[in-house]
Chain A
């Protein structure tokens, strides 16, 4: 019988530090933008604090909820249906407006694709655990699973949000890999993804050019290269010790989204190599403690779930940071715990709540 321990304090502390750090950075990065558009420097700060409060509340709630609740088919399918439903609603209801990533209701807005990521991880943990014995049966396990992932991807692409769509595929592949799905399926997914990538991106000149901008942004410094260059200038300007909190000048509309996608650039500029690498170290600790919980979990479901949640957060963080360093092309993924964005913060904290609950158990 699994032993009940106290939740992982290191994990808890790292997350709290990252979240509070994020609040500070959001304020620093967004003040000028907020003043410009909302006539108040603290517009984004206040919204982010509210989201943090909700997120922490839900985190504590889930910390005290046995993670096996997500093993119940009813819960899992309800969550999955909820995600698919909201995404489908977005895809159908407002295709005319172009971008439709948010559900809005009386001044509140919510980003269903954020919830969908979490629900996908829960569903995959549940499904892979359940079909552990016939994992490599194409018709009974792999294809139904791919059908669910494919539906999600198509709905997210409709928004359109290519970055999240690719990320969803990545998470699915990683979790299938952890669970031990045969290489040939993973290879197949990789192959078809490549074909799709070619079809959607390489073949369309403007998308391909835009994608390539990260390889040599200086080729078109005022066009597609502008954002990558501004990010590099910001980070490099920070030097070793940074310009000091609040001293970034690149956040003054040079960086495209200083408080969301490019908040790491502001961190690099204001806190320098020291601050920027400490942030990476913090995520490294998170990775170590999250996978520790996964490995120690008493059952396969716990292992899959903990590993999936940890990687969901870590991979987003690494992709986001890599984009700001122009190691990857621009994708609209936020930096977990730190970037401005209520849905992402709340979902991340829920994931941490579940992770902390898993960390209490050990076989």
Chain B
């Protein structure tokens, strides 16, 4: 072997060495990837090729107590675009803009997005959908989606609330019972290739969606309708800022209607201001004023600090309490306990309150449930305000006696006062009656549940009688309904101005609370009108509204009127010869202010 050839061999050997080192490097890299980095990288591959498709469940429906549909689902079409497949974005945008209520420029922006999927418009009606389908635009696709629909429009909108575009409950029962109504999403796991297409069309695993449960509420659509219509009318004619009506069955706590003004249409909730979504009867607090006096008397009777026929000197139309002077509408002179309530005397109420005393008044206010939520099944409930005992000042007993310095929600006051019509028992207020599965099986039924007994049946009956007198000849005569005995109490409260830190001179809340028929109450109702213009007395603004609603309720509920002679009998018993003055009172209301 010559030298040249030998040198060639050495060079070839060198190259062989390089090649085998290179191969060693490759093998080492293979081990590193396929053994040590396998899990991490394989996981990444799994993520990029697995796609889970969410299968939306059917949202449960909401029915009124008689089976009327309040919230249902309608199948709509959602239109989406795959921007990479859209051939001519500007032309496509123009064509879509002619059909959809979306601006051309916004559509074009979406179509030019660098995302792989964009919504063009969610939940479109069938007709525009068909028009767009016929355009056969490349890159535009259609998906069926359920849209929440409220067939009764504004009816009971504050109670039902509404669901958003992704079928999530946002307000009212839709929100509070969302977990019940929503159902469970199903899902489908599929494998996709790099072009985002399924290559296993049937999917790997599939879990069907479970439909949400249906809900039946205690609300009666017709009672609700009456309440809403009359409330709207009163708010309109009085020029009030707002108002609420709550109607309950005092025996069971079933809520039959909750009406509020201003209201909104849940089908187009976004077009209304957020303040109109508020269920004021549950979320907003006010000082109850004289309507509280009936409960004050309840405390006094239970404590036996006054008798029904005790007489009090109510002075020259005012009383000084710890330096403040609280006025009556006019000087009453001597009044009996009953008359203090009938005429709603502030001076009398303060005397009764002082007889009860600070300690016991605080104790009973707490025990009755003021300052505490009723735990009604509606979201956003306020519990009202009762100042803690250590913060009570010298005027507190006097103020609370006339229903100031204490805040309630309309629902709360009605719930507590209903004990008078229910042998002293406070019932837990309930909106939802039962929960049904999609197939109609009963899953849960809410039976009436008493919360506490606050007064004895005897006291309850005594109070009821006094409330009958209020309507027959006291401040509430405007609520009188021929043929029926109605128990009620008016209230007119000055509104506290939080900015000025004092009670405003011209802002009032007019209210009326009552039971019907008083001999066997099936209806408890509170009417609250916020800042009526012009006349602002509960007896003039709220009582007539109570009567309007009551009149239609007795017809709808077929509550038989009393025999004429019986009515007369009861009336004469109560009136006890002061009819003339009663009429006079009704003409010039006896409401109190400080």
Please list the residues of chain A having a beta carbon within 8 angstroms of any beta carbon in chain B. 32, 132, 174, 177-180, 229, 232-240, 249-250, 252-254, 268, 272-273, 276-277, 280, 283-284, 287-288, 291, 294-295, 300, 303, 307, 311, 314-315, 318, 321-322, 325, 327
Contact status A178-B15, CB under 8 Å:
yes
Contact status B193-A254, CB under 8 Å:
yes
Q: Mark B25-45, 1 if CB is under 8 A from A, else 0.
A: 111011101110110111011
Contact status A237-B38, CB under 8 Å:
yes
Cα-based distance from A132 to B4 in the complex (angstroms): 10
A selection of 9 A-B contacts at a CB cut-off of 8 Å is A180-B7, A233-B42, A236-B45, A238-B34, A240-B34, A252-B49, A280-B23, A294-B12, A327-B26
A177 / chain B contacts, CB cutoff of 8 Å? 11, 15
B271 / chain A contacts, CB cutoff of 8 Å? none
Cβ distance B275 to chain A, nearest Cβ, rounded Å: 46
* Given A291-B16, A314-B19, residue A32 in contact with residue B26 (CB < 8 A): no
A272 / chain B contacts, CB cutoff of 8 Å? 34
Contact status A249-B191, CB under 8 Å:
yes
Give the interface SS of chain A, mostly helix, strand, loop or mixed. helix
B residues 170-212 with Cβ under 8 Å of A?
191, 193-195, 199
Which residue of chain A is the closest to B27 with respect to CB atoms? Answer: A277
Contact status B31-A273, CB under 8 Å:
yes
Contact status A234-B45, CB under 8 Å:
yes
Check: B313 CB closer than 8 A to any chain A CB.
no
Contact status A235-B193, CB under 8 Å:
no
Q: Mark B146-157, 1 if CB is under 8 A from A, else 0.
A: 000000000000
Give the interface SS of chain B, mostly helix, strand, loop or mixed. helix
A315 / chain B contacts, CB cutoff of 8 Å? 19
Cβ distance A178 to chain B, nearest Cβ, rounded Å: 5
Check: B9 CB closer than 8 A to any chain A CB.
yes
| Given A284-B19, A284-B23: 6 more A-B contacts, CB < 8 Å | A236-B37, A239-B35, A240-B34, A250-B45, A268-B30, A325-B29
A174 / chain B contacts, CB cutoff of 8 Å? 15
Considering the complex of A and B, which 3 residue pairs feature the smallest CB-CB distances, nearest first? A236-B41, A253-B194, A252-B193
Which residue of chain A is the closest to B193 with respect to CB atoms? Answer: A252
Cα-based distance from A272 to B30 in the complex (angstroms): 9
B26 / chain A contacts, CB cutoff of 8 Å? 280, 318, 321-322, 325, 327
* Given A272-B34, A295-B12, A300-B5, residue A239 in contact with residue B42 (CB < 8 A): yes
Contact status A235-B22, CB under 8 Å:
no
Which residue of chain B is the closest to A294 with respect to CB atoms? Answer: B12
Which residue of chain A is the closest to B44 with respect to CB atoms? Answer: A233
Contact status A236-B4, CB under 8 Å:
no
Contact status A273-B34, CB under 8 Å:
yes
Which residue of chain B is the closest to A229 with respect to CB atoms? Answer: B44
* Given A280-B27, A283-B23, residue A325 in contact with residue B33 (CB < 8 A): yes
Check: B563 CB closer than 8 A to any chain A CB.
no
* Given A177-B11, A318-B22, A325-B26, residue A254 in contact with residue B48 (CB < 8 A): yes
A32 / chain B contacts, CB cutoff of 8 Å? 193, 199
Cβ distance B194 to chain A, nearest Cβ, rounded Å: 4
B23 / chain A contacts, CB cutoff of 8 Å? 280, 283-284, 318
Q: Which of B23, B26, B35, B44 has the most CB of A within 10 A?
A: B26
Which residue of chain A is the closest to B196 with respect to CB atoms? Answer: A253
Cα-based distance from A327 to B22 in the complex (angstroms): 10
Which residue of chain B is the closest to A221 with respect to CB atoms? Answer: B44
* Given A249-B49, A321-B26, residue A237 in contact with residue B16 (CB < 8 A): no
The one of B8, B40, B42 in contact with A300, judged by C-beta atoms closer than 8 angstroms, is B8
Check: B389 CB closer than 8 A to any chain A CB.
no
Cα-based distance from A276 to B15 in the complex (angstroms): 23
Contact status A273-B35, CB under 8 Å:
yes
